[in-house]
Amino acid sequence: MNEHVTAISKRRDETLGDALSRQGISRRAFLKYSAYLASIMALPPSAAKVMAEGLAKARRQAVIWLSFQECTGCTESLTRSFSPSLEDLIFDFISLDYHHTLQAASGEAAEAARRQSMEENKGKYIVIVDGSVPMADGGIYSMIAGQTNIDILAETVENAAAVIAVGTCAAFGGLPFANPNPTGAVPVSDLVKNKPVINIPGCPPIPEAMAGTIAHFLAFGKIPELDDLGRPRSFFGETIHDRCYRRPFYDRGMFAKSFDDEGAREGWCLYEVGCKGPVTYNACATLKWNGGVSFPIQSGHGCLGCSEPNFWDRGSFYKPLSASTAAPGKTIAAAAAAGAALGAGAAMLARSRRNAHLKKD
């Protein structure tokens, strides 16, 4: 038992460089991975070496993962890597001290592990949250070990170094936040005001965005540059439309009219069948999924805009972006009737005035 504890303690103290050497990863392979991370984060080439050095010296980062109102899709996405990769090693290097789905401990032991990690890594640990926080009726719609999500979040982030909101539910409220939002769900950033909050939205988010953000934090000791919605610019700086391989068809005015017509089979633009790529900022079109195999548009379905706030309530997924989200039929019919009545009234007034004049004459 004592030998096991000593081994765990040693692994906590070893740097990523030591860990990679132990696992037989060459310095060359690690430099290539650092260059890959630097490139997907749009950092200059010189940053790759700095990143490699920073990562090699970095020690095991304590991470507490809180799962609130969510579907576990984010965890599925982040843990089901295509094959054993350096990303896995990065995640191995993280000390994931608390995670409902992945941890072996349960019940009181799990909660004790969370509190122990918070105590041992005061001011240094990262809190990752997936899922929104229900606020209605005192937060009773999602409770863990007798505590509401509100209380767990407040307690856990108090001494955290940073908070990463993973997935659209944690970043922007997501599906629980959708109208009529019966649980009063809110995003993490609504509740955490005194700590840096990084949003990595997506339903689910891209694994590389997660790995890259954590690697950036480990290598440089600070959070990456964020956009106005708190998302790392390196992954959320461009729209899917801008980097979509179907973009030339948009420019040529060639659009699929349905999901099984000739245009769809030829890979034409999916704008007319509701693709939200032009207003969705994410790296799906470049990093793709499942080891770079494909992404939704490549598989024949338009982008849903899942990394944007309120994507669930922005009208039909299958309505083109330029179409109105309103159904103005009744309003227009009422307006037409009112217009006809006003016009007829004005004409009758003119007639009565003319008749009055004629009578005078």
Partner 1 sequence: MDLLDFARGPAIEFSLAVFVLGTIWRLAAVLLLPRRGDLSKAREGAPSRVSGAMGTVFRRMWPNKAFIHRTIFTTLNSYVFHLGLAIVVFGFVPHIQFIHGLFGVSWPGLPTNFIYGVGVITLVSLFAALARRLFHPVGRLLSGVSDYISWFMTAAPVLTGLLATSHLGARYETLLAIHILSVAAFFIWFPFGKLMHAFLFVFSRGATGARFSHRGVNV
Contacts with partner 1 by CB under 8 A lie at: 239, 241-242, 250-253, 255, 271-272, 278-279, 309-310, 313-315, 319-326, 328, 331-332, 334-336, 338-340, 342-344, 346-348, 350-351, 354
Return the number of other C-beta atoms located less than 10 Å from residue 326's C-beta.
8
CA distance 231 to 13: 31
Q: Which long-range contacts (CB under 8 A, 24 or more apart) does 293-301 make?
A: 293/82, 297/240, 297/244, 297/245, 297/246, 297/270, 298/245, 300/259, 300/264, 300/270, 301/259, 301/270
Closest C-alpha among 159, 218, 224, 228 to residue 189: 228
Q: How far is the CB of 255 from partner 1 (least distance, A)?
A: 6
Answer positive or negative: Cα dihedral of 309, 310, 315, 319.
positive
Q: Which is closer to partner 1, CB of 139 or CB of 309? A: 309
Token representation of residue 73: 């899709």
Closest C-alpha among 223, 170, 199, 185 to residue 281: 199
Q: How far is the CB of 254 from partner 1 (least distance, A)?
A: 8
CA distance 94 to 37: 17
Q: Which is closer to partner 1, CB of 28 or CB of 360? A: 360
Enclosing H/E stretch for 354: helix 329-360
Q: Which is closer to partner 1, CB of 141 or CB of 281? A: 281
Q: How far is the CB of 322 from partner 1 (least distance, A)?
A: 4
Q: Which is closer to partner 1, CB of 137 or CB of 313? A: 313
Enclosing H/E stretch for 249: helix 247-251
Q: Which is closer to partner 1, CB of 164 or CB of 273? A: 273
Distance of CA 267 to CAs 145, 258, 264, 287, 321, Å? 50, 12, 5, 19, 19
Q: Which is closer to partner 1, CB of 221 or CB of 343? A: 343
Q: Which is closer to partner 1, CB of 29 or CB of 344? A: 344
Q: How far is the CB of 306 from partner 1 (least distance, A)?
A: 15
Q: How far is the CB of 333 from partner 1 (least distance, A)?
A: 9
Q: How far is the CB of 48 from partner 1 (least distance, A)?
A: 29
Q: How far is the CB of 225 from partner 1 (least distance, A)?
A: 16
Query: For residue 85, how far is the Cα from the chain centroid?
Result: 22
